[in-house]
């Protein structure tokens, strides 16, 4: 992950109190071994849980410096650590790990925290004064919202939620392309095809489909030089804000497009705080470029360019030979506009797909040269594509997968599945299908590493079994169902059982890891860590569910297991919400 963003998060937030305590204690012990030397060691959860709850590699790190056997060092350190309130057992293992088993009381107290803090459990407050803008979505008007935008929207929303969870004030921003050749093409296409008489009564997504077809049609005809010239004329009119039949049509199409886009975003759970249409920023773009010819930009073949070679970057055109600003100039103007609208912005994050990585390196470099206020405050984070059979589908030739089609198909598949399994009335079935299909879609997208491409199979877009959103949701529903069946539960009286089974303990311990995971998922831009965690939590809960009866258990066991169920449900709900996934009580 980008160094810049890591620097931004560098602070003293306590993420895991146990790690904090152990690291401090070990640091003190090390001081008795040597005087000034810095030792890099960590306290972490061992990959193999049977080894302990926490482990440290400090002895191996010291072995080279002290020129001693790591096992000996480990034993010496282990002897000096004393924390009888917290530590159950300390064990030294080859090649020199020191493993700690923590007392179960600690995990019980953490469970109590969950029950008390409820939806606030796992959230942080330290960064509340800082304001971050996250730009994501970035669709075009005059064209349908496609699968790439869907990925941007879902990824962006989770980043927003994760940052809010870290305690930041987040501004959700959309920058959409409502000007440029694609709008002229679509306008030309609609002029050819005409608008059906009853068009006003059409559903907004059906309208968009019609509009998108016009775009595809125009793109195909664009190879014809005569038509190309016609479309370029329309483009010129739009830029010059002429008032004629063509530009009025362009405006109408824009309105229909925005209705479609608002609906799609709303369905995904996104309401933007700030919208930047390209038409609002392109005018300043020209000024910025022309005022900085000489120091940053230079003229070449009639165009104005940034020669990135001296900065180890590529060359980019900012004003064409014809005198038009390019998208790169608009991105500069957008940067200035953002900081003008929010002068107290601490950080801007622009999310785009990976192929723009090098491009944004140049944009950010130039912004920093133009004004010091951008220094370390303008960041680009790339996300991977959605691929079918390892291939990207082209939007220009009409091969793009429409966002609405994906959402509708996921919904239909889910509804069919539910019909097979359960007997819900139509209204309930539709609501469950909506939530479950979105959970499937979002979980699929977010469970991959952020910058990597996703190879999806269109036939099984939404998985219902195994590592999937519906699986996690289902586990939540089961947990809630227990509470509903059992009735009374006194959260204040949670007591540790004398005899606790392995699956109960596994679940209890896993719950306590939640805050650390949300912290990492946010600061490392890695929602997939949270997906992995929630899936593991759901698995552990299902094992517990299969092995430990709750409702019919003796009173003491019952109360403890109820607490576990309620705590699990709470953490699942909190985690899912950070992925932008809603929960339901039945499915």
- Binding to RNA (CB under 7 A) within 407-436 occurs at 414, 417-418, 421-422, 432, 436
**Could you say whether residue 482 binds RNA (CB under 7 A)?**
yes
Shortest distance, CB of residue 545 to RNA, whole angstroms? 4
Q: Report the C-alpha gap between 314 and 326 in whole angstroms.
A: 16
Closer residue to RNA (CB): 170 or 413: 413
For residues 343 and 554, which CB has a smaller minimum distance to RNA in the complex? Answer: 554
Give, in degrees to the nearest 5, the angle at Cα 271 between 266 and 275: 120
Residues 357, 375, 458, 556: which binds RNA (CB under 7 A)?
Answer: 357
Q: Which is nearer to RNA, 204 or 451 (CB)?
A: 451
Neighbours of 438 (CB within 10 A): 23
Residue 63 as a binder of RNA (CB under 7 A): the answer is yes
| Dihedral sign from CA coordinates of 113, 114, 120, 124 | positive
Q: Which residues of 242-254 are buried (b: 16+ CB within 10 A; e: fewer)?
A: eeeebbebbeebb
For RNA, which is the closer residue by CB, 158 or 414?
A: 414
Site size toward RNA, by CB under 7 A: 103
Restricting to residues 288-307, name those near RNA by CB under 7 A. 300-303, 305, 307
Please check whether residue 410 is in contact with residue 442, taking contact to mean a CB–CB distance below 8 angstroms. Answer: no
Return the number of the residue (165 or 353) whose C-beta is nearest RNA.
Answer: 353
Phi then psi for residue 172, to 5 deg, are -85, 120
Tokens in use for 432?
Answer: 């469950």
> CB burial class (10 A; 0-12, 13-18, 19+) of residue 267?
middle
Per CB under 7 A, the segment of 189-197, 214-222, 259-267, 445-453 that binds RNA is 445-453
**523/411 Cα distance (integer angstroms):** 33
Assigned token pair, 527: 């929602």
CA distance 410 to 154: 15
Indicate whether 393 belongs to the interface with RNA (CB under 7 A). Answer: no
Asked whether position 50 contacts RNA by CB under 7 A, the answer is yes
Among 75, 83, 104, 324, binds RNA (CB under 7 A): 324
Q: Per-residue contact track with RNA, 98 to 127, x per CB under 7 A?
A: -x----------------------------
Dihedral in degrees, nearest 10, Cα atoms 160, 164, 165, 166: 110
**Under the criterion CB under 7 A, does residue 74 sit at the interface with RNA?**
no
- The single residue among 15, 23, 46, 500 that binds RNA, judged by CB under 7 A, is 46
Q: Is 545 in the site for RNA (CB under 7 A)?
A: yes
Pick out residues in 124-163 that bind RNA (CB under 7 A): 140
The piece of 50-58, 76-84, 102-110, 115-123 that touches RNA (CB under 7 A) is 50-58
Q: Which of 131, 222, 225, 128 is nearest to 184 (CA)?
A: 222
Residue 337 binds RNA (CB under 7 A): no
Under rule CB under 7 A, residue 372 binds RNA: no
Q: Give 170 or 550: the residue with its C-beta nearer to RNA.
A: 550
* From 449, 489, 500, 582, residue interacting with RNA (rule: CB under 7 A): 449
Among 96-104, 242-250, 341-349, 399-407, which window interacts with RNA (CB under 7 A)?
96-104
Shorter beta-carbon distance to RNA: residue 120 or 224? 224
Q: Which residue has the tokens 């120091």?
A: 295
Residues β-bridged to residue 300: 303
State the nearest-atom distance from the C-beta of 112 to RNA, in Å.
Answer: 22
Distance between CA atoms of residues 441 and 469, nearest Å: 8
Residues near 400 by beta carbon (within 8 Å), at least 6 away in sequence: 144, 146, 147, 148, 393, 394
DSSP lists the bridge partners of residue 388 as 391, 456
Is residue 180 involved in binding RNA (CB under 7 A)? yes
55, 333, 413, 512: residue in contact with RNA (rule CB under 7 A)? 55
From the CB of 405, what's the least distance to RNA, in Å? Answer: 20
Q: Tell me the closest approach of the beta carbon of residue 199 to RNA, in angstroms.
A: 27
- Considering the complex, what minimum distance in angstroms separates the CB of residue 431 from RNA? 11
- The residues, ordered by sequence, that sit 6+ positions from 587 with a Cβ below 8 Å of its Cβ are 418, 422, 432, 435, 436, 470, 473, 474, 477
CB of 168 to RNA, least distance (A): 22
Q: Binding to RNA by residue 225, rule CB under 7 A?
A: no
Residue 265 contacts RNA per CB under 7 A = no
Q: Which residues contact 389 (CB under 8 A, 6 or more apart)?
A: 455
Q: CA-CA distances (angstroms) from residue 394 to 147, 178, 219, 391, 520?
A: 11, 20, 12, 9, 35
Helices (H), 390-425: 403-421
Which residue from 13, 259, 451, 489 is in contact with RNA, where contact means CB under 7 A?
A: 451
């Amino acid at each position: 992950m980008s160094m810049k963003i890591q620097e931004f998060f560098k602070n003293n937030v306590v993420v895991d109190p146990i790690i904090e305590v152990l690291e401090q204690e070990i640091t003190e012990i090390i001081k008795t071994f040597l005087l000034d030397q810095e030792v890099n060691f960590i306290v972490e959860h061992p990959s193999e849980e049977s080894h302990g709850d926490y482990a440290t590699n400090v002895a191996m790190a010291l072995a080279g410096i002290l020129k001693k056997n790591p096992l000996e060092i480990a034993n010496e350190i282990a002897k000096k650590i004393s924390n009888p309130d917290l530590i159950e057992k300390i064990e030294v293992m080859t090649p020199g790990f020191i493993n700690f088993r923590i007392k179960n009381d600690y995990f019980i107290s953490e469970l109590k925290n969950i029950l008390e803090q409820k939806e606030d459990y796992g959230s942080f407050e330290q960064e509340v004064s800082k304001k971050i803008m996250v730009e994501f979505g970035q669709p075009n008007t005059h064209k349908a919202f496609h699968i790439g935008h869907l990925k941007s929207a879902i990824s962006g929303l989770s980043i927003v939620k994760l940052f809010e969870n870290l305690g930041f004030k987040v501004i959700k921003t959309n920058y959409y392309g409502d000007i440029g050749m694609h709008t002229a093409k679509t306008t030309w296409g609609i002029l050819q095809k005409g608008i059906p008489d009853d068009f006003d009564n059409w559903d907004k997504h059906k309208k968009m489909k019609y509009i998108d077809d016009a775009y595809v049609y125009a793109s195909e005809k664009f190879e014809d030089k005569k038509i190309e010239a016609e479309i370029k004329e329309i483009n010129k009119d739009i830029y010059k804000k002429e008032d004629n039949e063509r530009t009025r049509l362009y405006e109408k199409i824009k309105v229909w497009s925005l209705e479609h886009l608002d609906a799609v975003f709303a369905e995904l759970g996104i309401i933007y705080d700030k919208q930047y249409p390209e038409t609002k920023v392109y005018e300043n773009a020209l000024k910025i470029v022309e005022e900085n010819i000489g120091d940053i930009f230079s003229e070449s073949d009639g165009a104005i360019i940034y020669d990135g070679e001296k900065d180890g970057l590529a060359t980019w055109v900012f004003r064409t030979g014809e005198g038009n600003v390019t998208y790169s100039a608009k991105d500069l103007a957008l940067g200035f506009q953002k900081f003008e609208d929010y002068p107290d912005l601490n950080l801007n994050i622009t999310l785009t797909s990976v192929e723009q990585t090098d491009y944004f390196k140049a944009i950010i470099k130039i912004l920093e040269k133009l004004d010091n206020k951008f220094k370390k405050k303008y960041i680009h984070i790339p996300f991977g594509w959605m691929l079918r059979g390892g291939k990207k589908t082209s939007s220009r030739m009409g091969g793009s997968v429409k966002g609405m089609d994906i959402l509708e198909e996921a919904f239909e598949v889910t509804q069919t599945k539910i019909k097979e399994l359960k007997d819900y009335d139509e209204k309930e079935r539709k609501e469950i299908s909506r939530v479950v299909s979105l959970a499937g879609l979002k979980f699929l997208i977010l469970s991959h590493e952020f910058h990597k491409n996703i190879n999806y199979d269109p036939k099984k877009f939404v998985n219902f079994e195994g590592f999937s959103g519906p699986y996690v949701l289902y586990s939540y529903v089961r947990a809630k169902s227990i509470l509903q069946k059992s009735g009374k539960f006194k959260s204040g009286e949670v007591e540790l059982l004398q005899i606790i089974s392995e699956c109960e303990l596994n679940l209890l311990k896993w719950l306590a890891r939640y805050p650390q995971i949300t912290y990492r998922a946010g600061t490392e831009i890695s929602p997939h860590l949270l997906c992995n965690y929630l899936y593991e939590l759901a698995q552990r809960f299902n094992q517990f569910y299969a092995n430990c009866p709750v409702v019919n258990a003796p009173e003491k066991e019952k109360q403890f297991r109820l607490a576990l169920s309620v705590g699990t449900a709470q953490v699942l709900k909190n985690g899912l919400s950070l992925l932008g996934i809603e929960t339901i009580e039945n499915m």
